[in-house]
Amino acid sequence: MFLLLPFDSLIVNLLGISLTVLFTLLLVFIIVPAIFGVSFGIRKLYMKTLLKIFAWATLRMERGAKEKNHQLYKPYTNGIIAKDPTSLEEEIKEIRRSGSSKALDNTLEFELSDIFYFCRKGMETIMDDEVTKRFSAEELESWNLLSRTNYNFQYISLRLTVLWGLGVLIRYCFLLPLRIALAFTGISLLVVGTTVVGYLPNGRLKEFLSKHVHLMCYRICVRALTAIITYHDRKNRPRNGGICVANHTSPIDVIILASDGYYAMVGQVHGGLMGVIQRAMVKACPHVWFERSEVKDRHLVAKRLTEHVQDKSKLPILIFPEGTCINNTSVMMFKKGSFEIGATVYPVAIKYDPQFGDAFWNSSKYGMVTYLLRMMTSWAIVCSVWYLPPMTREKDEDAVQFANRVKSAIARQGGLVDLLWDGGLKREKVKDTFKEEQQKLYSKMIVGNHEDRSRS
């Protein structure tokens, strides 16, 4: 037989023991609490320690920059140019007033100088506009020891580099394998658990088990991402027969909401692993999955959702009306489909703290797998969830107005900017109706006055 060196067996033994210890730790500290929904508070302690370290790191960088007499690059989330919030009419009147050599006549028509207003407004949007910056990750004020968020790397001292190296080691060699193991456990338990529950006859037992299997697996997934979630106003949680709407930042939103409540999911049928999960889930309780061809048919979609909502024994539906992922600094136009159904709407606001890990999925930049890896190699995902009081459509409101009302409530609670723009602008051009409104405003100014003059 091969001559084994004496320490080989020792190494194998050590490896075996450490793996067993790791798994026991995993079981005790993570999975068992997940099953029962309790928490040891380990993650909150972890978060506090990290904050202290980040503050120290930013101070060191600022000191390093001062020594070299440079200024640190400070990102601006509010835009890079100074803007005046005056209206079209005010500005044009002011322009005319300042340049007019004639007597101040209010019935002035078109002036050559009117063009300055549109010209400058146009240039301002080229330099900085509200929508383009919503589709890239939010920039941080202080550094969080991740190379992906660093803009000032030439100011890092030796100590800071060592700290960063330590961070890389911890994140990639300790946290990442742990998280992947947890994710794997969570997903397999979900698939197996829901399939098993699916064999039971319909009844109270099946519902009870289904709910707890779902909750348990989502909680394990939450721990797989080291997500530290604070729920507010849990008394407003969605009930059966209602629709839960929330702002959309990433696919993780689903895991975050579903680990605290029992929802029916709505979505398109996928292939691959997602498809396996979807088929298993629907065995235990009724979710609403659409075939690709059915998604285009708006009436069919509305009909199925209405049927689901009218059955009070079925779970509340979870929908993200923005239709696309936004970077969590603003809320964009809500598609009116879910607001036409006539059910009670339970709005939920989700706000992530980007300090510990940016949850925004930039689908034009990263695929799903890269995105998940980035999530699992961040420090943590910290977010706050607010359950807002339920809303229903008023008699004199149409679906669009109702959608905007819900959107404003969510934006206000989450501290996000409320935008009227459509998230689909990421891929398409804006409609001409908006341009017509501007043209109308301007026309009133130059023609309205003309009519007054011709009358007198």
Partner 1 sequence: MGTRSSHVAIIPDVDDIRRDTGFSQASLLRLYHRFRALDRNKKGYLSRMDLQQIGALAVNPLGDRIIDSFFPHGSQCVDFPGFVRVLAHFRPIENEDPGTRDPKQPEPLNSRMNKLRFAFQLYDLDGDGKISRQEMLQVLRLMVGVQVTEEQLESITDRTVQEADEDGDGAVSFLEFTKSLEKMNIEQKMSIRILK
Shortest Å, Cβ 73 to partner 1: 3
Two tokens, residue 180: 């992947």
In the complex, least distance from residue 64 CB atom to partner 1, rounded to whole angstroms: 12
CB distance 256 to 359 below 8 Å: no
Among 13, 125, 188, 268, binds partner 1 (CB under 8 A): 125
Query: SS3 for 124?
Result: helix
Choice from 89, 90, 105, 129 touching partner 1 (CB under 8 A): 129
Spatial distance between the Cα atoms of 345 and 403, rounded to a whole number of angstroms = 10
* Cβ atoms of residues 289 and 249 within 8 Å: no
Closer CB to partner 1, 132 or 408, in the complex: 132
CB of 381 to partner 1, least distance (A): 20
Q: Which residue stretch of 93-101, 177-185, 352-360, 395-403 sits at the interface with partner 1 (rule: CB under 8 A)?
A: 93-101
CB nearer to partner 1: give 96 or 308: 96
CB 166 within 8 A of CB 375: no
Neighbours of 96 (CB within 10 A): 20
Please report whether residue 153 would count as binding partner 1 according to CB under 8 A.
yes
Per the CB < 8 A criterion, the answer to whether 331 and 409 are in contact is no
Binding to partner 1 (CB under 8 A) within 19-78 occurs at 71-73, 76
Nearer to partner 1, 37 or 99 (CB): 99
Decide whether 31 or 419 has the Cβ nearer to partner 1: 419
114 sits near partner 1 (criterion: CB under 8 A): yes
Q: Kindly state whether residue 13 participates in binding partner 1, applying the rule CB under 8 A.
A: no
370 contacts partner 1 (rule: CB under 8 A): no
How far, CA to CA in Å, does 247 sit from each of 275, 404, 409?
A: 24, 13, 11
Nearer Cβ to partner 1 (130/397) = 130
Binding mask 387-426 for partner 1 (x = CB under 8 A): ----------------------------------x---x-
Token pair, residue 51, equals: 């904050």
Question: What's at 415, amino acid-wise?
Answer: G
Sign of the dihedral defined by the CA atoms of residues 23, 26, 27, 28, in that order = positive
Asked if residue 245 lies in contact with residue 406, where contact means CB atoms within 8 angstroms, the answer is: yes
Task: Using the minimum distance from each CB to partner 1, give the nearer residue, 94 or 297.
Answer: 94
DSSP codes joined into one string, 368-383? HHHHHHHHHTSS-EEE
232 makes contact with partner 1 (CB under 8 A): no
86 binds partner 1 (CB under 8 A): no
Query: Which residue in 127, 201, 235, 395 binds partner 1 (CB under 8 A)?
Result: 127
Member of 27, 28, 59, 81 binding partner 1 (CB under 8 A): 81
Question: 3-class DSSP state for residue 455?
Answer: helix
Give the amino acid at 370.
T
For residue 130, the tally of other CB atoms under 10 A from its CB is 15
The single-letter DSSP state of residue 145 is S
Asked if residue 202 binds partner 1 (CB under 8 A), the reply is: no
DSSP 140-163: PSS--S-GGG-S-GGG--HHHHHH
Provide the minimum distance between the beta carbon of 432 and partner 1 in the complex, in angstroms, as a whole number: 8
Among 46, 56, 110, 231, binds partner 1 (CB under 8 A): 110
Q: Which long-range contacts (CB under 8 A, 24 or more apart) does 398-404 make?
A: 399/336, 399/339, 399/340, 400/336, 400/339, 402/336, 402/339, 402/345, 403/321, 403/333, 403/334, 403/335, 403/336, 403/339, 404/334
CB of 442 to partner 1, least distance (A): 6
Stretch touching partner 1 by CB under 8 A, among 17-25, 47-55, 186-194, 429-437: 429-437
The tokens of 304 are what? Answer: 């199925």
Which one, 99 or 177, has the nearer CB to partner 1?
Answer: 99
Under the binding rule (CB under 8 A), the answer on residue 136 touching partner 1 is: yes
What's the min distance (Å) between Cβ of 76 and partner 1?
6
Decide if residue 447 touches partner 1 (CB under 8 A). yes
Residues that bind partner 1 (CB under 8 A): 71-73, 76, 79-82, 95, 98-101, 109-133, 136, 147-154, 364, 421, 425, 429-430, 434-440, 442-444, 446-447, 450
